[in-house]
Amino acid sequence: MSQKTVQTDIRRRKAWSGLFANLGLVAYFAFSLLPVLFILALSLKADADQTTTYLWFTPTLSNYETVLGLDDGGGTYIRFFMASLATSVGAVLVSLVIGVPAAYAAARYRFTGSDNLMFTLLSFRFAPELLVIIPLAVLYQQLGLYDTIVGMIWVLQLVTMPLVVWILRSFFQDFPAELEEAALLDGYSRRQAFFSVVLPLVRPGIAAVCLLAFIFAWNNFIFPFTLTSANAQTVTVSSLAWLGGNQVKFNLVAAGAVMAALPPLVLALFIQRYLVRGLSFGAVKG
C-alpha cells in the first residue's frame, strides 16, 4: 500500500469515527432532553388535550396562570417561593458564616481533630436523611420549630455545610501561602491578611459554591416534605400537590414542575467554571 492510500484510509476512518461520535452525542442528548421537552409541551396543553400524546395542539398559558395562582392574586405560589428562597438563602448564609473559618482553619493549620471534623461533616452528606428526620420531627414539635423557616435552615445544614466547607478548604489549600506570608511581613495582621488578600482572590469560587449550595438546598425534597406542612413548605414540595385530588390534571402537574425547576436551572448557568470542583466536593479540580 502506498503512502497516499494509507493517508486517505486514515482520513476516511477519522471521518467515520467523527460521524459516529456525533451520532452518539445526538442519541444521548435526545434521551437527555426528551423529558424536558415533553414536560414543556404538556404544560402548555389545555385540559382537553392533556391526556393525548400528540404534539399537535393549541398552546395555552392557562396552566401557568393556575399554578402561579393568578386567579387568586398569586398569593399561594409567591408564599411557597418565598419559603424556598428564605430557607435556601438562610441555609447558605449560615453555612458560609460558620464554614469559611472552619474551612480556612482546616486548610491552613494542622490541629488535632481537624480531620475528624472534616470527616464528620462529610459523613452528614452520606447519612440517610430519615435517620435525622425522625428524631428531629419529635424534637421540632417540642421546640416549636416544626414547619418554620428556622427549623428548615437548621436541618438544611446537612446539605449545604459539607459542600461549603469541603470545597472552600480546597480553594484555601490552592491559595499560595506565600502571598499571605508576604502580607504578614508587610505588617498585616492575620485577620487583615485574610480579609484583604485571601478573600478577594477566592471570591469567585465562594460565589460559585454559594450558588451550588443554594441549588441543592432548593432542590432538596425529603426535609421540607417531612418537616413542614404549610408555613414553610417549599416550591418543590408544593408542586406535588397537583398530583393529589380526585382527578389529576397532568398539564397542571407539568406546569408546577416547570415552575419549581426553573430557578435552579437559571442559576446553574453561572457556575459552569467551578462545577466540577463543586460537584466533587473539591476532590477533582476542573
Partner 1 sequence: MALDTAPDNASGNGRAADAPPPLDSVPKVSPGRRKLRPYLLAVPAVVLCVGILYPFFVGVGYTFYNFSAANPDPMWVGFKNFADVVTSAPFWNSVRVTGLFAVVATSVETVLGVGVALLLYRSSLLGKIFERILIVPLMIAPILAAIMWKLLLLPEVGWVRPILGWFGVTGYTGTDSPFWAFFWSVVVDAWIYTPFVAIIALAGLRSLPNSPFEAAAVDGANWWLTFRRLTLPMLWPYLLVAVIFRLMDSLKMFDIIFGLTTGGPGDSTTTLQINAYLEAITYARYSRGITYMVLLWVFVYVVSMFAVKYLRKVQARSAGV
Q: Where in 167-226 is the site for partner 1 (CB under 8 A)?
A: 177, 180-181, 184-187, 189-190, 215, 218-222, 226
| C-alpha angle 96-99-100 in degrees, rounded to nearest 5 | 80
Alpha helices per DSSP H over the chain = 3-43, 62-67, 75-108, 114-126, 129-143, 149-174, 177-185, 190-193, 199-219, 222-227, 235-238, 250-268, 275-279
User: For partner 1, which is the closer residue by CB, 72 or 181?
Assistant: 181
3-class DSSP state for residue 284?
coil
Stretch that binds partner 1, among 4-12, 59-67, 69-77, 133-141 (CB under 8 A): 133-141
Sequence-ordered list of residues with C-beta below 8 angstroms from that of 13, at least 6 positions apart, any chain: none
Encoded one letter per residue, x for contact with partner 1 by CB under 8 A and - for no contact, window 4-43 reads --------------x--xx-xxx-xx-xxxxxx-xx--x-
Q: How far is CA 146 from CA 44, 133, 150, 227, 236, in A?
A: 36, 11, 9, 6, 18
Minimum distance of partner 1 from residue 74's CB (angstroms): 21
User: For partner 1, which is the closer residue by CB, 78 or 243?
Assistant: 243
Minimum distance of partner 1 from residue 202's CB (angstroms): 15
| Residue 52: Cβ-neighbour burial (10 angstroms; 0-12, 13-18, 19+) | exposed
Q: Which of 44, 87, 129, 166 is in the footprint of partner 1 by CB under 8 A?
A: 129
231: phi then psi, degrees, rounded to nearest 5? -70, -45
- Residue 179 and residue 223: Cα distance in Å, rounded? 42
Encoded one letter per residue, x for contact with partner 1 by CB under 8 A and - for no contact, window 43-82 reads -------xx-x-----------------------------
Stretch that binds partner 1, among 2-10, 67-75, 85-93, 259-267 (CB under 8 A): 259-267
Q: Where in 227-256 is the site for partner 1 (CB under 8 A)?
A: 236, 239-240, 243, 250, 253-254
Minimum distance of partner 1 from residue 257's CB (angstroms): 5
* Grid cell in block for residue 80: 411557597
The yes or no reply on residue 151 touching partner 1 (CB under 8 A) is no
Q: Which of 138, 201, 207, 230 is in the footprint of partner 1 by CB under 8 A?
A: 138
User: For partner 1, which is the closer residue by CB, 72 or 182?
Assistant: 182
